[in-house]
């Protein structure tokens, strides 16, 4: 693998999912947390590329499927997080929502 160098001002906003499984599915009562170190102020949320709202809270209880991102003041946009509705899905294979390296032991969830 490779590790890119991070220039000054690089993206430091993270989007965490609870419960910590990907893909996230609405039947899990998904909560997203926008994490951007060292900044105060409102979080701007986006759903499917459109502004979804601005809140003081960094946590968002997801009630609709879509692709979510967030923006923290001075720290930029997070990577996106897709949330599935789960309707009509026969099976969903989920992996832990954390960085995995080759050779790591991992638990998978197959749900339907």
Tell me which DSSP letter residue 28 carries: G
Work out the number of other CB atoms within 10 angstroms of the CB of residue 65: 18
Q: Give the count of domains, the chain.
A: 1
The CATH code of the domain that includes 20 is 2.60.40.10
Both tokens of 111, joined, read 């749900």
Residue-wise pLDDT for 15-50, tens only, equals 999 999 999 999 899 999 998 765 566 789 999 999
Q: Is position 111 within any domain?
A: no
Per-residue pLDDT, 11? 54
Whether the pLDDT of residue 108 is over 60: the answer is yes
Strand pairing class (31-36; 13-18)? antiparallel
CA distance 69 to 98: 17
β-strand partners of 78: none
Domain that holds residue 80: 14-97
- Residue predicted with more confidence, 96 or 55: 96
């Amino acid at each position: 693998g490779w590790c890119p160098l991070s220039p000054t001002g690089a993206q430091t906003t993270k989007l965490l999912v609870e419960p910590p499984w990907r893909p996230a599915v609405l039947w899990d009562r998904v909560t997203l947390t926008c994490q951007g170190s060292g900044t105060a102020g409102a979080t701007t949320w986006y759903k499917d590329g459109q502004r979804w709202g601005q809140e003081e809270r960094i946590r968002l209880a997801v009630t609709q499927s879509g692709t979510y991102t967030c923006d923290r003041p001075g720290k930029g946009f997070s990577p996106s997080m897709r949330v599935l509705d789960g309707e009509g899905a026969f099976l969903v294979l989920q992996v832990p929502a954390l960085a995995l390296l080759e050779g790591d032991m991992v638990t998978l969830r197959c749900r339907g």
